[in-house]
Amino acid sequence: MARRKRHSVDEKVNILALLYSGDSRRGLSLRYKIDKKDIRLWDIRFKTFGLSGLEPLKRCAIPEWYKQEVLEEYEKGGISMRQLAVEKNICLSTLQNWLRKRRRGQENGQGQDKPEASDN
C-alpha cells in the first residue's frame, strides 16, 4: 500500500484559494492528484479552525474517559463521524478505530457486567 503524500499548509491554502475562486473540487482533485474528500476536509477544517486547522494533527495520548465521551456523543446520533472528528480535532481514522475497538469489545463480552461469583 502506497503511503499518502503529506501536503504543506501552503499547498493546502493555495488549493483552497483556487476552490474559493470557483474551481471545482473534482477539477482540483484531478489537477493535483488529491482525493476530493481531502479537499473537502481541508475546507471544513479551515472554516472551523482557520490556518491552524490545516496543520498536521499531532499524535498524543488521549485519556480513555475522553474517548468514551466522544464515542457516546457519536452514538447518540445527530452528527456524522466526519463532523465529530473535525469538531473534536481528531483524525477521522482515529475515531473510526476507537469505534471499531469498542464494537469488537462488546462482541467479545468485554465492557459488560460480569456475574459475580457466589460464596457458596
Is residue 57 within 8 A of residue 91, CB to CB? The reply is: yes
Cell numbers that stand for 107 in this block = 462482541
pLDDT for 1 equals 42
Q: What sign does the dihedral 105-107-109-79 (CA atoms) show?
A: positive
Rounded mean pLDDT, 57-86? 86
Enumerate helices (H) and strands (E) in the chain, giving the number of each.
6, 0
Instruction: Name the residue with higher pLDDT: 101 or 1.
Output: 101
Which pTM does this prediction carry? 0.57
